[in-house]
């Protein structure tokens, strides 16, 4: 493999968080470069603090989500009643839950398609055309990714504000008054308004990510296919996409999972699930049941559904996108 | 190769553009426009917050595009003192720094041992940590809260006011714990990429295992440690769900303080304070990002070993 591209400005380790590009390396069973045995005391001393913290604050609570989903419990009272799968049975009749589920799925589909599509498209044209100012652009594109959700929520409620918001204000300024909307108050619109904020938050990150993996594709391939008369669109679909497929695949899996969370924190800060539950998502409904309603058991049953749901979606995504890995 | 050879994607795709043709140039113009529009869509709202934080109350009710007439620094004073963002800010700094110290103190040794030593149950430990990558804190914040409530009940004789809830140190422990899988994962991969010869040489010179880890390997892993610090800093500083849940009392983090301002503003329309608060929250993140990004690049350019 040749590296014609400029030396990576992004640290190689950074994209790992979401792409897991080097996943294979730590998978159990993979050959390890371990070289010594022994000194149990040293190993224990190094390992134990991390493992204890991990067990107490992650493993135990995770197990508890599953255990508590089988009980009814109003929180601080001592009486916990074992009810088996009753909580789950109630879920099926809970119209608010069904709605939250539908909202989550709708958001995931719309936001994933929009973010991934735009990120790939923009990354492709930017890499192929080698625009100037790439560094500055990368800096700007990354900014939403470092802002807190509270800040993003506040920014977008300023953008969406009915009277003096950036969006409606600008529409008025160019005399498109009829296009003005109550972006966060309209039951049909609010979900898309949240989705737009999500795309705004993650688009830049994925663009930068794909730009760096596209930059490593050897230039000769494009030259050769140009000589064969391949159009740019053709090159994108038969060259670029297949060659970054593995990266795309892992980032997609992680994107779906982070989108489940992002939708929750944004909804929690921006709309509180309103108006009238029309922007409620699974996690925000769980939070509401647990704290506002003090139905901890019921809330945890929702938690189990979320676990199962995101696991299934990741599995489906990874199955559906499986291809023979291509090398250049 | 030159740019001219590459047909542009922005142009209509009926055929490949002629080298240097008008199509290619038009395509580049379209691309520039698109990319500039995107950059503006990101930069304008952020810049707008910065300017709006200096506006007087009455100025919020006109066109959103006007600049402030006079610079109202009072908004900041107001946010810092009346809205308590000053003290919340200190809580956030404390929690973030402590969290980073905790996570590095436990993860660096663990990652090093996993990368370099063989021990019984290693496979299980690695699998558990890998699975932990998929457990988001938001899924388990409720059981964590209940667990802390339980612990407080058990200790009610010793600490009648409670010890575990409303305790910034406990909050930073929770932060540290929940970022252990990611941190160890990243550090382990990096440690594995460092050649073992350095340690062999140090061991021949009689350095202890602990010294090899702290004085040889840790400095060599600096790029990975910096990355970990950047990511965890962002996660801790920007979190509001966990701190909202675990610090229900007076001592809030700055994000929760901002969320309260944000909720109050919907009723009272006290915009100046809110935007000043947003700037207070954004500025440290932007500074750290700008600084560490530069250092990360330096580390890469001078680095002998790449991850």
Q: Are residues B182 and B291 in the same domain?
A: yes
pLDDT value for B147: 92
B201 vs A79 pLDDT, higher one: B201
* Chain A residue with the nearest C-alpha to that of B41: A200
Q: Are residues B90 and B18 in the same domain?
A: no
Chain A residues 245-284 with CB within 8 Å of chain B? 257, 260-261, 264-265, 268-269, 283
Per-residue pLDDT tens over the stretch A20-75: 333 333 334 334 444 444 578 899 999 999 999 999 999 999 999 999 889 887 76
- Please indicate whether, in this complex, the C-beta atoms of B8 and A53 are within 8 angstroms of each other: no
Q: Are residues B91 and B17 in the same domain?
A: no
> Structure pTM?
0.81
Q: Which two tokens stand for residue A267?
A: 């909804």
Chain A residues in contact with B238 by the CB 8 A cut-off are 146-149
Calculate mean pLDDT across residues B99-112: 96
Bridge partners for B117 per DSSP: A36
Q: Where are the beta strands (DSSP E) in A92-147?
A: none
Helix (H, G, I), strand (E, B) or coil at A195: helix
Q: Which domain holds residue B16?
A: 3-52
For residue B307, tell me if it sits in a domain: no
Q: Are residues B178 and B278 in the same domain?
A: yes
Does the pLDDT at position B173 exceed 90?
A: yes
Number of domains in chain B: 2
Chain A residues in contact with B184 by the CB 8 A cut-off are 50
Q: Are residues B123 and B155 in the same domain?
A: yes
pLDDT value for B15: 41
Domain of B276: which CATH number?
1.10.3720.10
pLDDT over 90, % of chain B:
26
Q: Are residues B37 and B122 in the same domain?
A: no
Q: Are residues B236 and B201 in the same domain?
A: yes
Q: Which two tokens stand for residue B285?
A: 């993140």
Of A196, A194, A168, nearest to A182 by C-alpha is: A168
Q: Are residues B43 and B141 in the same domain?
A: no
Local confidence band at A82 (pLDDT 50, 70, 90 cut-offs): confident
- The full DSSP string for A5-43 is SPPPSS-TTTTHHHH-TTHHHHSTTS-----EE--HHHH
Of A94, A92, A109, A100, nearest to A281 by C-alpha is: A100
| Domain residue ranges of chain A, discontinuous segments joined by + | 59-320
Measured distance CA(A264)–CA(A289) in Å, rounded: 14
Is the sign of the CA dihedral B55, B60, B61, B67 positive or negative? positive
Calculate mean pLDDT across residues A199-207: 88
For residue B65, tell me if it sits in a domain: no
pLDDT over 70, % of chain A:
86
Q: Are residues B117 and B153 in the same domain?
A: yes
The DSSP code for B248 is: -
* Structural fold of domain A59-320: MetI-like fold (1.10.3720)
Closest-CA distance of chain B to residue A324, Å:
24
B52 vs B164 pLDDT, higher one: B164
A and B: number of Cβ contacts within 8 A: 321
* Chain A residue with the nearest C-alpha to that of B199: A35
Per-residue pLDDT tens over the stretch B31-51: 888 888 888 888 888 888 888
- Other beta carbons within 10 angstroms of residue B76's beta carbon come to 20
Q: Are residues B177 and B254 in the same domain?
A: yes
- Please indicate whether, in this complex, the C-beta atoms of A151 and B182 are within 8 angstroms of each other: no
- Please indicate whether, in this complex, the C-beta atoms of B286 and A140 are within 8 angstroms of each other: no
pLDDT value for B129: 93
Instruction: Check if A164 contacts B (Cβ < 8 Å).
Output: yes
Measured distance CA(A259)–CA(A201) in Å, rounded: 10
CA triplet A300, A304, A309: central angle to 5 degrees?
Answer: 140
* Chain A residue with the nearest C-alpha to that of B170: A57
Q: Are residues B168 and B281 in the same domain?
A: yes
Q: Are residues B81 and B124 in the same domain?
A: yes
pLDDT value for B101: 97
Establish whether this prediction's ipTM goes over 0.85.
no
């Amino acid at each position: 493999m040749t590296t014609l591209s400029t030396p990576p400005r992004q640290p190689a380790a950074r994209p790992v968080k979401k792409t897991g590009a080097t996943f294979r390396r730590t998978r159990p069973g993979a050959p390890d470069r371990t070289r010594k045995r022994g000194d149990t005391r040293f190993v224990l001393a190094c390992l134990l603090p991390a493992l204890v913290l991990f067990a107490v604050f992650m493993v135990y609570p995770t197990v508890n989500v599953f255990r508590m989903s089988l009980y009814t419990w109003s929180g601080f009272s001592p009486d916990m009643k074992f009810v088996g799968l009753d909580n789950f049975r109630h879920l099926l009749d809970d119209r608010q839950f069904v709605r939250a589920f539908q909202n989550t799925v709708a958001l995931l589909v719309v936001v994933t398609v929009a973010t991934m599509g735009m990120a790939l498209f923009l990354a492709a044209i930017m890499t192929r055309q080698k625009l100037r100012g790439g560094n500055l652009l990368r800096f700007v594109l990354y900014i939403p990714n470092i802002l807190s959700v509270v800040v993003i929520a506040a920014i977008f409620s300023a953008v969406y504000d009915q009277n003096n918001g950036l969006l409606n204000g600008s529409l008025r300024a160019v005399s498109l008054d009829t296009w003005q909307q109550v972006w966060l108050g309209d039951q049909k619109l609010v979900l898309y308004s949240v989705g737009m904020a999500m795309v705004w938050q993650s688009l830049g990150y994925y663009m930068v990510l794909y730009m760096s993996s596209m930059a490593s594709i050897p230039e000769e391939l494009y030259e050769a296919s140009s000589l064969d008369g391949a159009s740019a669109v053709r090159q994108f679909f038969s060259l670029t996409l297949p060659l970054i497929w593995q990266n795309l695949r892992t980032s997609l899996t992680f994107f779906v999972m982070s989108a489940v969370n992002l939708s929750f924190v944004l909804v929690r800060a921006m709309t509180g699930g309103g108006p009238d539950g029309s922007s409620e998502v699974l996690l925000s409904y769980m939070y509401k049941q647990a704290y506002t309603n003090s139905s901890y058991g019921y809330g945890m049953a929702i938690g189990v559904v979320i676990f199962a749901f995101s696991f299934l979606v990741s599995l489906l995504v990874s199955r559906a996108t499986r291809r023979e890995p291509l090398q250049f | 190769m030159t740019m001219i050879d590459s047909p542009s994607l922005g142009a209509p795709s009926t055929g490949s553009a002629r080298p240097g043709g008008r199509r290619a140039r038009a395509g580049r113009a379209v691309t520039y426009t698109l990319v500039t529009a995107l950059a503006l869509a990101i930069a304008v709202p952020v810049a707008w917050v910065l300017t709006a934080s200096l506006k007087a109350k009455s100025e919020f009710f006109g066109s959103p595009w006007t600049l402030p007439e006079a610079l109202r620094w009072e908004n900041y004073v107001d946010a810092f003192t009346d809205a308590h963002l000053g003290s919340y800010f200190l809580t956030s700094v404390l929690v973030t720094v402590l969290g980073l110290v905790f996570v590095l103190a436990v993860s660096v040794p663990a990652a090093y041992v996993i990368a370099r030593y063989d021990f019984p149950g290693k496979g299980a430990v690695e699998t558990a940590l890998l699975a932990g990558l998929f457990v988001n804190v938001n899924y388990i914040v409720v059981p964590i809260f209940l667990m802390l409530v339980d612990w407080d009940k058990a200790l009610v004789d010793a600490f009648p006011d409670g010890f575990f809830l409303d305790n910034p140190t406990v909050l930073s422990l929770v932060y540290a714990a929940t970022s252990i899988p990611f941190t160890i994962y990243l550090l382990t991969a990096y440690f594995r990429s460092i050649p073992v010869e350095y340690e062999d040489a140090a061991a021949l010179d009689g350095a202890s295992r602990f010294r090899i880890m702290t004085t040889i390997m840790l400095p060599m892993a600096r790029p990975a440690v910096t990355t970990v610090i950047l990511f965890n800093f962002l996660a801790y500083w920007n979190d509001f769900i966990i701190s909202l849940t675990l610090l229900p009392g007076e001592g809030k983090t700055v994000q929760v303080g901002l969320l309260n301002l944000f909720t109050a503003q919907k009723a009272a329309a006290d915009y100046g304070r809110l935007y000043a608060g947003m700037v207070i929250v954004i500025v440290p993140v932007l500074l750290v990002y700008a600084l560490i990004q530069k250092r990360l690049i330096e580390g890469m350019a001078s680095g002998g070993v790449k991850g």
